Amino acid sequence: MIMAAIKLSENTKKALIIFFLIFIILFVLIGYISLAIEGVVKRQGSKADEMLSNVVKAEIFDKESKLIKFGIRKNARVFYLESRIPFIILLISWGAYLIFCLFSGKWGYNPLNKVDGFGTLLFEFSPWPKESFFGLKLISGWPSVISKPHFEVSALFSYFFVPVNLVGIVWFLLYVQAYIARSFRIRKIARSVFRKKLITDEPASLTDNK
Amino acid sequence: MLAFLKVFLRGIVVTLLLPIILLVLAVYGVYCIFLFVFMFFKGVIEYFQGKSFSTDLPEDSEARRQLLEQELTEQRAKEMLNVMYQNHMAQQQFLNQQPQKEDEIEYLKPKPEPEQGSILEPQGETPDDNGGY
């Protein structure tokens, strides 16, 4: 009844269809990206199998908690050895930032600012223009460009600092993700190893009782 | 179509959970910075203790030793079995090379015992009951 009362024009229908298509494509894309990330996480987690294979085969530990503790200790070492390079990159970039601040005297310098920072390489737009229409403020046009990307000599430091820092952070976060993946995998392996043992022991004890 | 729908629903769930995922990543990121600093100092201490900082822990070397021992024991057992098998086969081969029927086998028989006094008696004449010739 309500649907029948709402009459949509052809243009509105087209707009709605396009909107729904974009909506679906966007979520499907996010779904596929998450699947890809899951694959990467699984691959990263498989390193935990290599880490624990010897001690599990040799049956060094008799308790699940001991195996988990061992895994955590080893995982921390692997993480430290892996993430040294991005950490050094970050350390160098922040050291350079401190030296820059020391020599320029600009303490609290924001490397992303739009005057003498990385922001000079980005577009800057004005707010959306709005006009009142029957008491409602509606968007009436496209925002204008305030600033186009341009080179600033005073922002030279930020042109090096921001990309290097970004690379270091992303690289470090990838190893953090790998660390998390291995942590989960270690717990899963420990649980499966000791649960399996319990199941294999069960029939033997039952037959012994008979 | 079902797979497509699954991916679509997954996309919605991931979008809804994205703030939590990012929060967990950020918390772990901060934790990992502290962990890195801690491991760095641990590495320095181990270096001055004359140890090399690696992913190998004492439990790993113990596990490797046990596995090696196990492997050696298995290898020895295999070798032993192999030797026993070869001996058995050689024995079988030796027995198979001389097939003999039961009636063809010449068993060693004891020599017939000589009659009493036959050696002492002269060969030509034999004494009669009365002792005369």
Q: In chain A, what are the domain boundaries?
A: 41-107+155-200
Residue B1 lies in a domain: no
Interchain proximity A58–B43, CB inside 8 Å: no
Q: What pairs with residue A130 in β-bridges?
A: A139
Please provide the average confidence, as pLDDT, over all residues in chain A.
85
pLDDT band at A4 (very low <50, low <70, confident <90, very high): low
- What mean pLDDT comes out for the span A90-112? 90
Please tell me the distance in Å from A29's CA to the nearest CA on chain B.
7
pLDDT of residue A6: 67
For residue B90, what are the domain limits?
55-97
Is the minimum CB–CB distance between A35 and chain B shorter than 8 Å?
yes
Q: What local confidence, expressed as pLDDT, does residue A11 receive? A: 81
B46 and B59 housed in the same domain: no
Asked if the structure places residue B107 within a domain, the reply is: no
Q: At B45, is the pLDDT very low, low, confident or very high (cuts 50, 70, 90)?
A: very high
Q: What are phi and psi of B79, to 5 degrees?
A: -60, -45
Is there a single domain that holds both residue B49 and residue B59?
A: no
Whether residues B8 and A28 touch (CB distance < 8 A) is answered with yes
The reply to whether B102 falls in a domain is no
Task: Mark whether B61 and B43 lie in a shared domain.
Answer: no
Q: What pLDDT score does B20 carry?
A: 94
Measure in Å the smallest separation between the Cα of B10 and chain A Cα atoms: 5
pTM across the whole model = 0.71
Q: How confident is the model at residue A161 (pLDDT cuts 50, 70, 90)?
A: very high
Number of inter-chain CB pairs under 8 A, A vs B: 95
Minimal-distance CA residue of chain A relative to B8 = A28
Q: How far apart, in whole angstroms, are the C-alpha atoms of residue A100 and residue A92? A: 12
Of B17, B19, B11, the C-alpha closest to A23 is B11
Q: Is A182 exposed, middle or buried (0-12, 13-18, 19+ CB in 10 A)?
A: buried
Q: Are B27 and B45 in a shared domain?
A: yes
With CB atoms and an 8 Å threshold, state whether B63 touches A54: yes
pLDDT band (50, 70, 90) for residue A210: very low
Q: Which residues of B touch A55 (CB under 8 A)?
A: 59-60, 63
Question: Mean of the per-residue pLDDT values for chain B?
Answer: 81
pLDDT of A202 higher than 60: no
The answer for A 154-193 residues in CB contact with B (under 8 A) is: 172-173, 175-177, 179-180
Number of other CB atoms surrounding residue B115 within 10 Å: 8
- Mutate which: B25, B46, B60, B74, vs A, most A CBs within 10 A: B60
Total tally of structural domains belonging to chain B = 2
Is the residue at B70 inside a domain? Answer: yes
Residues 6 or more apart whose Cβ sits within 8 Å of residue A186: A48, A51, A52, A67, A68, A71, A72, A75
CA dihedral A151, A152, A156, A161 (to 10 degrees): -70
Instruction: Return the sign of the alpha-carbon dihedral for residues B83, B85, B90, B95.
Output: positive
Q: Residue A62 has what DSSP assignment? A: S
B63 and B49 belong to one structural domain:
no
Residue with the bigger pLDDT between B114 and A78: it is A78
State the smallest CA–CA distance between residue B50 and chain A in angstroms: 17
Would B10 be classed as within a structural domain?
no
- A34 contacts on B by Cβ (under 8 Å): 10-11, 14
| Residue B39 shares a structural domain with residue B60 | no
**Cβ contacts (< 8 Å) between A33 and chain B: which residues?**
14
